[in-house]
């Protein structure tokens, strides 16, 4: 909310030191988002009068003006505004003036005609957003007067962040009360005096003879008042009024609209002015109904937009049609125009929840809806309506119908609360004196009384503070105004405690450490995904459920939640490659999401995924570099398996149809016993191409929950061997189809207990020497007994038997 | 020539040969030619039998003397040569120690998780446990149980991503839903209070989502660490002391904290916490926009409604909660100029940490 300090100081003493004032506001809960000083920048900007306005000889929209600025000669100014006309009072920036945005005014030529200044719009002056032509000042504006004098010297406007719990601060009077409490100063509200003045303008029959109001549902509209102001002459606002509403951030429109805005800014009560004649029925009367809208009812709001309403919304209507959207915006058809002579003034209270939903459903936020959804006090509505009518009559030359149509149910009752001083002090950890507590609560508008217990205050919270419902709400008020900085910093005591990480956290930490030790770099990508990305990856979606769809995504590329981490990582691979980085080793741990029909919440699974492209490093002066292939990915997964002590880990070849995103023949499922942990492999060249990446890319994706279930907290101890081992190398020539795993299994079962270890050290293929579709697999075998030194004889016998069995079982031959 | 003369000549010749040997191999040649199986001195020793008996003692003595002299010379020369050769070998093996070492690449931790780890360590040390929760939440856990019921204006403080609700429930507001991406990790508070009896000391790090277009200072997905304490006798002073300790641990012992009253639906009283600017030390500079302070987190005493929602009696227990934006810390501590870098996976960025 914009708060003019000139205006505020009408009701409360405002400190001269603006910086200190802002700090105090900040510390007590009213954030200062901006400080703007009006007026001081207006050097060389004066009030001028257009003497003549001629068309530019060489343009169809420019005018050549002669403007009297109170100097000997009028200035010739070229101006493009459509509302420039002779005899109008305008604001002239003379040569040498600097407008907001460092725009300095110089003598210039526009299409051949000299221009010695500029006529300004309010926006160009930084006064408001109004840029519908130049600013036309009231006729009484004195020619030649510096603008800073004309708009009553300088003013400082603070842009304040009013938190949603403080509807009362969305008004000047409310801010005056707040500032009064901050400094323990008194403030005054002009409401009663302004309201009393209505009597001066009363004329004609009682308003209830003309207007009736029917509220269908008091839950939606707890109070509705209507008054009528006749003999209105619509025109520009007096300067003081225009200045106030402009400072508050609105645009000065005309005297009637400005009064409604002024009253809203002053008291926080939104008002709406209808053109009475447009509501009138044939008998001259106005019948207003506050009712739920019909589903599908169409209505054009003031901003010219046609809206389709729902029954959750409330409309102000005549028997024929809706005329306003309750609490949000009036209707275009019944708005006040230059021809209006009679005004029906609505001052009402509307439901917070309905207003909020209506506003959100229509995407329509107004000064009015913002206040109603935070809460407008229904108690002073009628009094504020009086004050508004008095002011309306005064500035428009009108008269007010006596009386009021005021329809309401039970009004909001103030809430009685207890304030236990010792509990408060104990909870804050500060000794705050009772006198201070009482004074602050009173200044905030509470009634405070002592009780029999000197430790307990009886507090009645004011109706304009809907946030003060409970004792704790009062604690906050006193603490923030006493000063949070004055509370001594302590640490919780208690009986002592210990902090622990969960088992999952520990497992995750192990995985992270292992992946980093394997040379992979952790990254983070968006949880959002493109709906087609799994198709691009060619990933089988059968087991992935449905994608979690966002109702309001930022863009189509981020409209669902990811079902795999791989696409995000591939986008990072592409990002790196396009920037000349070719060695990429990335991993991420994070959630993936699967929705299921009929289920409210999706399943969330934690995944561990990595991608490797290029090599670990570039070749160095003493290191060779090898391009990543399947076995680098597998090695990483093996490291994880080792660190988590996963039992019975197996890699099972995946067929093309099982994992279409992987290159057939370089793809494996990772299992621990019968539990599937995930997969590892080289991505299919077609998948890689779909992500604009240079392959090959080695990738893996493991399910963290499955890893967590399979892991063992520790491995068992095995005796360190005491007796010497005998090493024998053997190379088997086998068919290509025989896997390493198969050979090892065969050797293990044939070698029995004495076979201690099997290490593959060479794979050799040569059509001539080894044979077509054959390979030679060379193993280093270690024989050892745990309890004795083996004899040569024993070893030879065991080894011979092993070779024989392997040859027989797998059709292998020993390579000589 | 007399035998003694012969031996004398042999000794002189051999000693000269030893002296002339340039390396251990040449020296060995000399040794073999004199003391080897068919060495010259060995031949004399072998022929001792042919020496007349009366001369034998004399000759034997001379022979021994010659052998000892030669052996000593050999040993001395061998030591000299070995020392020289070792020195030469060491000289030859010298390397340019400024050449790069040979190492396995170590991977790196993502900056955000690195900071999360750091923060977690601080609170683990204070006796907090680490909790986690789901990222897709129901309205109840993200808002309602946190004292922000439907249509509460505080909800507009955070722009929410809503998720298609497959349960068939419809929302009262178009484009909204009962299921959403959590806008704060505060939901974990509620889960923790539902699942545990006080005393509760937990922190909950995790991803949160708000509907902000990504730009240098905003991300639609970021990381928050929520802290929650519920115990008997917890005071606002305890909240201040805890966060002051945290800020000093994270940013340095000379940093100050400042508490500004604020509003959050789930805490009361609520505050925003600033840490003094590390560049100007509170004087005001461009980094802190002239204020001398940098906003770092939001906090407050757990609202009694929130406690009651989770079945905890606010007359018996009190507590505090706080939420730290990890990306915010990354900006303040590491001067990351553009938050989007955190999600791009640029190797050149990641490998800096």
User: How confident is the model over A116-163, as pLDDT tens digits?
Assistant: 999 988 777 766 556 678 888 888 888 988 887 777 657 889 999 999
What's the count of helices (H) and strands (E) in chain B, helices before strands? 11, 10
Q: Does A816 have pLDDT greater than 80?
A: no
Mean predicted lDDT score pLDDT of chain A: 93
* Host domain of residue B47: 3-93
Q: Examine the domain organization and report whether B227 and B319 are in the same domain.
A: yes
pLDDT tens-digit series, residues B187-233: 888 888 888 889 999 999 999 999 999 998 889 999 999 999 999 99
Structural domain count, chain B = 2
State the pLDDT at residue A249: 87
Question: What are the two backbone dihedrals, phi and then psi, of residue A792, each rounded to the nearest 5 degrees?
Answer: -55, -40
Same domain, B30 and B150: no
What does the mean pLDDT of chain B come to? Answer: 89
Residue A88 CA to residue A83 CA, distance in Å, equals 9
Cα separation of A578 and A595, whole Å?
A: 34
Residue A751, phi then psi, degrees to nearest 5:
-75, -20
Contact criterion met (CB below 8 Å) for B326 and B226: no
Q: Answer yes or no: do B39 and B138 share one domain.
A: no
Any idea which residue has 């051999």 for tokens?
Answer: B14
The residue of chain B nearest to residue A555, with distances taken between CA atoms, is B213
Domain boundary among B93, B124, B143: B93
Among chain B residues, CA nearest to A560: B163
Distance (Å) of CA B295 to CA A26, B247, B256, B260, B279: 12, 11, 12, 10, 14
Last residue of a domain, one of B63, B93, B123: B93
| CATH code given to domain A2-39+157-189 | 3.30.56.10
Min Cα–Cα distance to chain B from A672, Å: 26
- CB contacts < 8 A, A to B, total 287
- B167–A616: do the CB atoms touch at under 8 Å? no
Cross-chain residue pair A596–B166, CB shorter than 8 Å: yes
CA distance A511 to A504: 10
Which of A632-641, B1-10, B22-31, B276-285 is the most confident on average? A632-641
**A475 interaction partners in chain B (CB closer than 8 Å):** 268-269
pTM of structure: 0.82
pLDDT in the model for residue B156: 67
Contact at CB, A549 and B164, closer than 8 angstroms: yes
Domain assignment present for B100: no
Q: Do B127 and A429 touch (CB under 8 A)?
A: no
The structure tokens 């963290």 sit at: A704
**A476 contacts B270? CB cut-off 8 A:** yes
**Does B327 share its domain with B222?**
yes
pLDDT at residue A805, as a whole number: 94
Query: Do B184 and B317 lie in a common domain?
Result: yes
- Tell the residue number behind the tokens 């492209």, with chain if given: A613
- In a domain, residue B325? The reply is yes
Sketch the domain layout of chain A as residue ranges.
Answer: 2-39+157-189, 45-150, 193-408, 415-486, 503-710, 726-814
Q: What is the pLDDT of residue A460?
A: 97
Which pLDDT does position A40 carry in this prediction?
A: 61
Whether residue B89 is contained in a domain is answered as yes
Residue B98 maps to a domain: no
Which chain A residues contact residue B201 at CB under 8 A?
492, 497, 499
d(CA A558, CA B227): 30
For residues A621-645, average pLDDT? 93
CB contact under 8 A, A356 and B270: no
Return the residue in B97, B107, B317 with the most chain A beta carbons within 10 A, the one to mutate for interface testing: B107
Closest chain B residue by Cα to residue A375: B153
Minimal C-alpha gap between B84 and chain A (Å): 29
What's the pLDDT at A152? 61
Contact A576 B346 (CB under 8 A): yes
Contact check, Cβ <8 Å, A518/B107: yes
Subunit contact B263:A29, Cβ cutoff 8 A: yes
Check whether residue B188 and residue B84 sit in a common domain: no
Please give the residue of chain A at the shortest CA–CA distance from B274.
A27
The residue among B232, B269, B272, B346 with the most chain A CBs within 10 A of its CB, best to mutate, is: B269
Q: For chain A, first and last CA: distance in Å?
A: 92
Are B130 and A500 an interchain contact pair (Cβ–Cβ within 8 Å)?
Answer: yes
Q: Do B124 and A499 touch (CB under 8 A)?
A: yes
From the list B157, B268, B345, which residue is nearest A476 (CB)? B268
3-state DSSP call for residue B227? strand
Contacts of A468 (CB under 8 A, 6+ apart): A415, A417, A446, A461, A462, A474, A477
Taken as a whole, chain A contains a residue count of 816
Residues A519 and A586: their CA atoms lie apart, in Å, by: 9
B298: CATH:
3.30.930.10
A624 vs B170: CA distance, rounded Å: 61
Contacts of A288 (CB under 8 A, 6+ apart): A211, A212, A213, A214, A224, A226, A279, A316, A317, A318
* A498: chain B residues, CB-CB within 8 Å: 127
Mutation target vs A (from B96, B103, B235, B239; most A CBs, 10 A cutoff): B235
pLDDT score of A733? 95
Q: Are residues B62 and B190 in the same domain?
A: no
CATH architecture of A45-150: Beta Barrel (2.40)
CA–CA dist A39, B137 (Å, integer): 51
The per-residue pLDDT for range A333-342, each reduced to its tens digit, is 999 999 999 9
Three-state DSSP class for A421?
helix
Residue B18 lies in a domain: yes
d(CA A586, CA A577): 13
| pLDDT (mean) for A564-574 | 97
Is A401 a residue whose pLDDT tops 70? yes
CB contact under 8 A, A164 and B157: yes
Would the CB atoms of A551 and B167 count as touching at under 8 Å? no
Q: Which of A178, A476, A704 to mutate to test the interface with B (most CBs of B within 10 A)?
A: A476
**Closest residue to A585, CB basis, from B107, B151, B221:** B107
Using CA coordinates, name the residue in chain B closest to A474.
B269
Q: Which long-range contacts (CB under 8 A, 24 or more apart) does A738-743 make?
A: A738/A810, A738/A811, A738/A812, A739/A653, A740/A777, A741/A650, A741/A651, A742/A810, A743/A777, A743/A779, A743/A806, A743/A810, A743/A812
- Best of A480, A484, A599 to mutate (most B CBs within 10 Å, chain B): A484
pLDDT at A251: 84
Q: Which CATH superfamily is domain A193-408 in?
A: Phenylalanyl-trna Synthetase, Chain B, domain 3 (3.50.40.10)
Residue contact A497–B241, C-beta within 8 A: no
Q: Do B237 and A312 touch (CB under 8 A)?
A: no
Report the residue from B153, B229, B303 with minimal CB separation from A356: B153
Do B156 and B70 belong together in one domain?
Answer: no
Question: Which pLDDT belongs to residue B102?
Answer: 83
Q: How far apart are CA A523 and CA B110, in angstroms?
A: 5
In this structure, are strands A211-215 and A286-292 parallel, antiparallel, or unpaired?
parallel
**Region at A212 (left for phi over 0; alpha for psi -120 to 50; beta for the rest):** beta
Kindly state whether residues B72 and B119 are assigned to the same domain: no
Could you tell me which chain A residue has the CA closest to the CA of B158? A164
Query: How far apart, in whole angstroms, are the C-alpha atoms of residue A214 and residue A317?
Result: 10
Instruction: Give the right CATH number for A503-710 from 3.20.20.100, 3.40.190.10, 3.30.930.10, 1.10.150.650.
Output: 3.30.930.10
For residues B82 and B130, membership in a common domain is answered with no
B181 and B325 belong to one structural domain = yes
Rounded to whole angstroms, how far apart are CA atoms A641 and A554?
A: 39
Interchain pair B211, A554: CB under 8 A: yes
Q: Which residues does chain A have within 8 Å of residue B181's beta carbon, measured at their own beta carbons?
A: 550, 561
Q: Enumerate the residues of chain B whose CB falls inside 8 A of the CB of residue A515.
A: 107
pLDDT of residue A128: 56
Instruction: Mark yes or no for CB contact A599/B108 under 8 Å.
Output: no
For residues B177 and B252, membership in a common domain is answered with yes
- Quote the pLDDT of residue A148: 77
CATH code for the structural domain at A415-486: 3.30.56.10
Residue A39 in this model has a pLDDT that exceeds 70? no
Tell me which of B60, B93, B126 is where a domain ends.
Answer: B93
- How far apart (Å, rounded) are the C-alpha atoms in residues A730 and B178? 67
Once rounded to an integer, what is the mean pLDDT over residues A207-229? 96
d(CA A266, CA A756) in angstroms, rounded, equals 91
Q: Are A582 and A537 in contact (CB under 8 A)?
A: no
d(CA A678, CA A669): 6
Q: Closest approach of chain A CAs to the CA of B49, in angstroms?
A: 49
DSSP state of B218: B
| pLDDT score of A246 | 86
pLDDT at B244 over 60: yes
CB contact under 8 A, A501 and B124: yes
Common-topology check for domains A2-39+157-189 and A415-486: yes
The verdict on residue B248 lying in a domain is yes
Q: Is B323 within the bounds of a domain? A: yes
Smallest CA–CA distance from A312 into chain B, residue:
B172
Q: Per-residue pLDDT for A793 more than 70? A: yes
Whose tokens are 């007349």? That residue is B52
From the list A490, A496, A519, the residue facing B237 with the nearest CB is A490
Q: For A415-428, what is each residue's pLDDT tens digit?
A: 999 999 999 999 99
Judged by CB atoms closer than 8 Å, whether chains meet at B237 and A430 is answered as yes
CATH no., domain A726-814: 3.30.70.380
- Position B299 in a domain: yes
Contacts of B302 in chain A (CB under 8 A): none
Closest residue to B229, CB basis, from A492, A579, A590: A492
Which of B152, B213, B345 is facing A586, going by the closest CB pair?
B345
- What is the Cα A460 distance to its own chain's centre? 36
């Amino acid at each position: 909310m914009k708060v003019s300090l000139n205006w505020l100081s009408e009701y409360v003493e405002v400190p001269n030191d603006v910086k200190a004032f802002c700090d105090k506001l900040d510390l007590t809960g009213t954030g200062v988002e901006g400080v703007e000083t009006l007026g001081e920048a207006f050097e060389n900007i004066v009030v001028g009068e257009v003497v003549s306005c001629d068309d530019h000889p060489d343009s169809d929209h420019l005018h050549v003006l002669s403007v009297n600025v109170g100097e000997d000669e009028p200035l010739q100014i070229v101006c493009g505004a459509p509302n420039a006309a002779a005899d109008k009072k305008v604001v002239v920036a003379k040569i040498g003036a600097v407008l907001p945005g460092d725009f300095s005014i110089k003598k210039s030529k526009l299409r051949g005609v000299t221009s010695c200044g500029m006529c300004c719009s309010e926006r160009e002056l930084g006064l408001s957003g109004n840029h519908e032509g130049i600013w036309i000042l009231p006729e009484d504006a004195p020619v030649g007067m510096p603008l800073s004098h004309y708009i009553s010297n300088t003013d400082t406007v603070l842009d304040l962040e009013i938190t949603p719990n403080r509807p009362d601060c969305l008004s000047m009077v409310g801010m005056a009360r707040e500032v009064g409490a901050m400094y323990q100063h008194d403030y005054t509200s002009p409401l009663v005096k302004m309201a009393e003045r209505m009597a001066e303008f009363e004329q004609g029959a009682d308003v209830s003879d003309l207007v009736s109001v029917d509220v269908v549902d008091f839950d939606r509209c707890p109070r509705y008042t209507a008054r009528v102001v006749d003999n209105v002459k619509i025109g520009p606002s007096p300067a003081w009024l225009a200045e106030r509403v402009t400072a508050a951030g609105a645009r000065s429109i005309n005297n009637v609209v400005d009064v409604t805005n002024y009253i809203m800014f002053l008291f926080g009560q939104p008002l709406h002015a209808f053109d009475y004649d447009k509501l009138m029925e044939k008998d001259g009367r106005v019948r207003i109904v506050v009712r739920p809208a019909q589903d599908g009812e169409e209505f054009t709001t003031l901003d010219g937009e046609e809206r389709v309403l729902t029954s959750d919304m409330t409309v102000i209507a005549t028997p024929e049609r809706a005329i306003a959207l309750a609490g949000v915006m009036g209707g275009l058809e019944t708005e006040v125009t230059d021809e209006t002579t009679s005004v029906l003034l609505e001052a009402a209270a509307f439901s917070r929840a309905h207003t909020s939903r209506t506003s959100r459903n229509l995407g329509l936020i107004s000064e009015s809806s913002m206040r109603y959804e935070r809460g407008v006090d229904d108690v002073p509505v009628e009094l504020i309506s009086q004050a508004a009518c008095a002011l309306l009559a005064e500035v428009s030359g009108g008269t007010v119908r006596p009386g009021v149509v005021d329809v309401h149910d039970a009004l909001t009752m103030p809430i009685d609360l207890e304030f236990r001083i010792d509990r408060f002090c104990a909870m804050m950890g500060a000794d705050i004196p009772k006198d201070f507590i009482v004074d602050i609560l009173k200044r905030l508008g509470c009634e405070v009384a002592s009780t029999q217990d000197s430790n307990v205050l009886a507090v009645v919270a004011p109706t304009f503070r809907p946030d003060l419902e409970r004792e704790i709400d009062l604690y906050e008020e006193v603490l923030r105004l006493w000063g949070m900085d004055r509370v001594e910093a302590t640490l919780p005591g208690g009986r002592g405690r210990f902090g622990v990480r969960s088992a999952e956290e520990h497992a995750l930490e192990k995985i992270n450490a292992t992946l980093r030790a394997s040379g992979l770099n952790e990254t983070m990508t968006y949880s959002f995904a493109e709906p087609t990305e799994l198709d691009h990856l060619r990933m089988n979606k059968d087991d992935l459920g449905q994608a979690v769809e966002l109702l309001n995504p930022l863009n189509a590329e981020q409209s669902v939640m990811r079902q795999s981490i791989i696409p995000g990582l591939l986008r990072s691979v592409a990002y790196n490659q396009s920037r000349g980085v070719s060695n990429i080793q990335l991993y991420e741990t994070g959630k993936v999401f699967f929705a299921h029909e009929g289920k409210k919440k999706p399943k969330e699974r934690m995944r561990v995924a990595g991608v490797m492209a290029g090599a670990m490093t570039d070749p160095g002066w003493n290191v060779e570099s090898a391009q990543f292939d399947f076995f680098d990915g597998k090695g990483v997964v093996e490291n994880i398996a080792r660190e988590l002590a996963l039992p019975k880990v197996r890699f099972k070849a995946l067929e093309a149809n099982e994992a279409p995103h992987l290159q057939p023949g370089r793809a494996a499922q990772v299992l621990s016993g019968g539990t599937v942990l995930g997969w590892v492999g080289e991505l299919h060249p077609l998948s890689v191409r779909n992500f604009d990446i240079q392959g090959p890319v080695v990738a893996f994706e493991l399910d963290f929950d499955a890893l967590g279930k399979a892991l063992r907290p520790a491995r068992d101890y095995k005796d360190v061997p005491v007796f010497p081992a005998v090493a024998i190398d053997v190379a088997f020539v086998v068919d290509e189809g025989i896997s390493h795993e198969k050979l090892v299994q065969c050797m293990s079962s044939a070698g029995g207990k004495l076979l201690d270890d099997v290490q593959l050290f060479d794979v050799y293929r040569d059509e001539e020497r080894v044979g077509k579709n054959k390979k030679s697999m060379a193993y280093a075998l270690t024989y050892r007994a745990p309890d004795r030194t083996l004899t040569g004889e024993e070893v030879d016998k065991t080894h011979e038997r092993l070779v024989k069995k392997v040859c027989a079982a797998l059709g292998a031959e020993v390579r000589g | 020539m007399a035998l003694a003369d012969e031996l004398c000549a042999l000794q002189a010749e051999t000693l000269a040969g030893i002296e002339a040997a340039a390396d251990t191999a040449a020296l060995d040649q000399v040794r073999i030619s004199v003391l080897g199986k068919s060495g010259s001195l060995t031949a004399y020793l072998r022929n001792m039998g042919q020496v007349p008996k009366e001369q034998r003692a004399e000759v034997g003595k001379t022979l021994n003397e010659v052998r000892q002299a030669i052996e000593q010379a050999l040993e001395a020369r061998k030591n000299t040569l070995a020392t020289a050769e070792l020195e030469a070998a060491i000289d030859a093996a010298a390397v340019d120690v400024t050449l790069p070492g040979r190492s396995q690449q170590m991977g790196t931790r993502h900056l955000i998780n690195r900071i999360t780890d750091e923060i977690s360590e601080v609170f683990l040390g204070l006796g907090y446990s680490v909790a986690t929760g789901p990222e897709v939440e129901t309205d109840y856990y993200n808002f309602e149980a946190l004292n922000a019921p439907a249509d509460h204006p505080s909800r507009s403080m955070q722009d929410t991503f809503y998720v298609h609700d497959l349960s068939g429930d419809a929302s009262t507001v178009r484009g909204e839903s009962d299921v959403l991406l959590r806008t704060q990790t505060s939901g974990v508070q509620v889960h923790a209070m539902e699942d545990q009896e006080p005393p509760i000391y937990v922190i909950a790090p995790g991803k949160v989502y708000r509907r902000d277009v990504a730009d240098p200072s905003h991300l639609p997905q970021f990381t928050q660490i929520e802290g929650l304490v519920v115990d008997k006798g917890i005071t606002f002073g305890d909240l201040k002391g805890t966060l002051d300790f945290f800020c000093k641990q994270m940013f340095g012992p000379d940093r100050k904290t400042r508490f500004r009253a604020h509003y959050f639906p789930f805490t009361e009283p609520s505050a925003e916490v600033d840490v003094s600017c590390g560049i100007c030390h509170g004087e005001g500079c461009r980094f802190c926009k002239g204020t001398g302070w940098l906003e770092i987190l939001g906090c407050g005493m757990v609202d009694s409604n929130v406690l009651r929602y989770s079945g905890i009696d606010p007359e018996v227990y009190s507590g505090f909660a706080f939420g730290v934006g990890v990306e915010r810390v990354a900006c303040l501590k590491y001067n990351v100029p553009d938050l989007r870098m955190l999600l791009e996976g640029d190797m050149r960025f990641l490998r800096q940490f």
